[in-house]
Amino acid sequence: MVHPLGRTSMGRQRIEIRRIDNKERRQVTFTKRRGGLFKKASELALLTGASVAVVVFSPAKHVYAFGHPSVDAVLRSYASVPGEAAAVAPVPVHGGSGGEDVDLLGLRLAADDTGAQVAAEHARMRDVAARIVQAKAGRRFWWEADVDALGEAELLEFVTALKKLRDNVGRHANTLLAPQPPPLPLQQKQRRRR
Amino acid sequence: MVHPLGRTSMGRQRIEIRRIDNKERRQVTFTKRRGGLFKKASELALLTGASVAVVVFSPAKHVYAFGHPSVDAVLRSYASVPGEAAAVAPVPVHGGSGGEDVDLLGLRLAADDTGAQVAAEHARMRDVAARIVQAKAGRRFWWEADVDALGEAELLEFVTALKKLRDNVGRHANTLLAPQPPPLPLQQKQRRRR
DNA sequence: AAGGCTATATATAAAGA
DNA sequence: TTCTTTATATATAGCCT
């Protein structure tokens, strides 16, 4: 309804882009802006045909994600990008010594899209052994290999590599997310229109 | 300068949210909106303390990413989220039979953050063997295990699991990104202010 | 914690430099 | 192509319900 006199609202106010102190208002802003972000992501994909993936952890550590054509498809592609793959895998150690207590080793399926030029790619990865060696020496994509083609020996090498990886991960308590398996809200948003 | 008479611009026009046909316009829109999307993501993170990761592949398949505190940190967390991890790993096959030709097996380092309640977590994953079995039977996180603790036997089991994974991936030529190692533009955007 | 509402801050489609 | 300039479409902060 209409208000006979005077402004009925102060309208949108300008705010500083820095942490909102008030907890509830921070939550409200989170919800509103998360929606807006997903909408923008969706529009970008639709308008330009771009692939987009957005992953958000709320202040309460709940997960929200949007992706076109899908979050996983985009992240898989991302993982297969040279520079990025390297960035994700080797995780530099800043602590030091080694792994005394048991830590998880998280592995994640990444690339291998059966695209048109996969055939061409095949050539350069024909020799798995060479690949592993090359990989151990260098940095990226060493973990790519045709497991079937590996013999017991290479297989061991492979596992060794995995262990090494585990060690490298070691301790970097900088991350934000604390593992919370049981009560997981999780909500995959996959589409939005107007 | 000013235009003596009449509108000097038609101003922003309303557009339908569907693929822009004109190639150059599409490119311009992509650039503008990508910037906007990253800015929004940045503000969301700053205002609410949320963790955000945005990965975008341009129509030309160039990669652009934004993340707070970092793309990798967020994606690692994402990978460790039960529901999501499962979604990424098992990739349902729609084709059918098996894997006759060689495909890559992409593995990706994922979780294990040394958070505060890791200790509590430790309990439930004390017995690695049990974990593997349990995993093989069920669906998610079967690939999590302390490699060091595995004996030859379990080790083989582990690899078998990996092969299975490879098979599951099999054929799903739906992805968008065609592998293009050499000429990769890549640009990590990590910050934005105004 | 979710939805409206209003008034305003922002994002951007077009066109020009 | 990439950066301005307009003029207008959208996103949202503060308030209410």
pLDDT tens digits, B87-103: 332 222 122 222 211 12
For residue A38, the model assigns a pLDDT of 93
SS3 helix, strand, coil % of chain B, rounded to 5? 40, 10, 50
- Mode of pairing for the β-strands spanning B63-68 and B187-188: parallel
Q: Under 8 Å CB-to-CB from B39, ≥6 apart: which residues?
A: B192, B194
Q: List bases in chain D with any atom under 7 Å of a protein Cβ.
A: 1-2, 5-15
A29-33, B106-110, B190-194: segment of lowest average pLDDT? B106-110
Query: B54 pLDDT exceeds 70?
Result: yes
DSSP code of residue B106: -
Q: Do B171 and A114 touch (CB under 8 A)?
A: yes
Interface check for B25 against chain A (CB to CB < 8 A): the answer is: no
Q: What is the pTM (predicted TM-score) of this model?
A: 0.54
Query: A72 pLDDT exceeds 90?
Result: no
Digit-coded pLDDT (tens) for A36-70: 999 999 999 999 999 999 999 998 888 888 888 88
**Pairwise CA distance, residues A105 & A163, whole Å:** 8
Cα B94 to chain center, whole Å?
22
- Across chain A, the runs of DSSP E, i.e. the strands, are 51-57, 63-68, 187-188
CB-strand contact B138/C, under 7 Å: no
Helix, strand, or coil (residue A28): helix
Backbone phi, then psi, for A65, in 5-degree steps?
-145, 150
Instruction: With beta carbons less than 8 A apart as the criterion, state whether B106 and A147 touch.
Output: no
**Pairwise CA distance, residues B92 & B82, whole Å:** 17
Give the pLDDT mean for A111-139: 28
Q: How far is B190 from chain A (nearest CA, A)?
A: 13
Interface check for A69 against chain B (CB to CB < 8 A): the answer is: yes
* Identity of the amino acid at A74: V
Structure tokens at B123: 């309990």
- Across A74-148, the runs of DSSP E, i.e. the strands, are none
Instruction: With beta carbons less than 8 A apart as the criterion, state whether B63 and B187 touch.
Output: yes
CB-strand contact B15/C, under 7 Å: yes
Structure tokens at A42: 């969706």
**Nucleotide nearest the Cα atom of B14 (by C1'):** D9
Domain spans of chain A, in order of start: 20-75, 107-175
Give the pLDDT mean for B8-30: 91
Give the pLDDT mean for A121-132: 29
In angstroms, the Cα distances linking A142 to B78, B143, B182 are: 23, 18, 17
Give the pLDDT mean for A164-185: 27
B142 vs A99, higher pLDDT: B142
> A54 has which bridge partners?
A66, B54
CATH code for A20-75?
A: 3.40.1810.10
Q: How much is the CA Rg of chain B, to the nearest whole Å?
A: 23
In angstroms, the Cα distances linking A120 to A151, A184, B138, B180 are: 25, 43, 37, 11
Q: List bases in chain C with any atom under 7 Å of a protein Cβ.
A: 1-2, 5-15
Query: B26 pLDDT exceeds 60?
Result: yes
Give the sign of the dihedral formed by CA B112, CA A81, CA A75, CA B168: negative
